[in-house]
Copies of this chain bind each other. A is one copy, B any other.
Amino acid sequence: MLNTPSIILISPQMGENIGAAARAMHNFGLDDLRLVSPRDGWPNQSAMEVARNAGCILEKVKVFDSLKEALHDIHFLYATTARPRDMVKNVITPRITANYIRQNSLNSQKSAIMFGPERTGMNNDDIILADSIVTIPVSDENTSLNLAQAVSVLCYEWFTAGSSNEEPIFKIGKSDFATKSEINLLLEKLENELDKKNFFHPAMRGRMLRNLNNIFTRNNLTSQEVKTLRGVIGSLTGE
C-alpha cells in the first residue's frame, strides 16, 4: 500500500489558503491535511468555498494544538521554507523531496510536508523538528510564495514523481524508522536527566535543546536505535 504524505499547515491565517491547499492536494492524489492552531478556528466557511470539489479533504481535516501532536505517527518530516537559516540541516528541492517521500513510502515509512503561517513563515523551533528543509527555487525579485501555491508545487512534484519506479536506496534492515513521538520521548528523557544535573545555563537552554533536537532528528534513527539511546542515557545516569 502506498503511504501518501500528509500536508501540515502551521497556524494558517486565511481560510482561502486552506481551501486552495486542499484543492491542490485532491488534484494530486493526497488526502491527509493536518492543521495546527488555525487562526480562525475550524471548520472555516471560506476554506469550504475555495476547496470546491475537494470538500472531502476538508471534511476529514485533523486539527491539533501543537505541531508535536500533529507529528505523532510521522517518520520523515520536510519543512518548506524559503529562508536560509543558520542551522545544520539538509536543504533540498521539491523534486528531490518527492523522490525521498516515494522511497520512504516503499519502506512503509510515513512522510509529512509542513508549511508555516502566511506572513511570518516557520519559526526555528518548528524547523528543527524536520529531517530536511525544502526550498522551492524562486526568483530573487520575489521570494514570497503564496501558501497554497507552495503546497501545489510540492503536491505536483509528489504526483509527478510517481511516474518513475525507483528502488529504495536506504536499507533499514529488520528495524523500522522511529516515529516522531518515539524521538520526542527520547529527547524528553534526555532533557529531564540533564535538568537534574543542571546542565543548561538558563540563557542558553532553548538554543541547546534545539541543537540536541537537531542532532537526533536528522540522522533517521530506527526504533531500535532509540531504544539503545534510552538505554545509554539510563546507564550513564546510573538508573
With beta carbons under 8 angstroms apart, the residue of B24, B90, B145, B229 that contacts A146 is B24
* Docked CA distance A41–B169 (Å): 37
Q: Which of A78-102 contact B (CB under 8 A)?
A: 84-93, 95-96
Taking CB atoms, residues of chain B closer than 8 Å to A232 are 190, 194, 199, 212
Q: Does A45 contact B (CB under 8 A)?
A: no
Determine if A149 is an interface residue (Cβ-Cβ < 8 Å): yes
CB distance from A93 to the nearest CB of B (A): 6
* Distance to closest chain B CB from A86 (angstroms): 4
CA distance A172 to B214 in the complex (A): 12
> Within the oligomer, what is the number of copies of this chain?
2
- Contact between A194 and B235 (Cβ–Cβ < 8 Å)? yes
The answer to whether B87 touches A171, judged by C-beta atoms less than 8 angstroms apart, is yes
**Interface contact B194-A95, CB-CB below 8 Å:** no
Please indicate the chain B residues that have their CB under 8 angstroms from the CB of A85 in the complex: 171, 173
The one of B91, B141, B225 that contacts A26, using a Cβ cutoff of 8 Å: B141
Min distance, Cβ A40 to any Cβ of chain B, angstroms: 19
Q: B20, B52, B168: which contacts A144 (Cβ < 8 A)? A: B52
The 8 closest A-B pairs by CB, nearest first: A219-B219, A29-B139, A236-B236, A26-B142, A199-B235, A86-B173, A91-B169, A92-B168
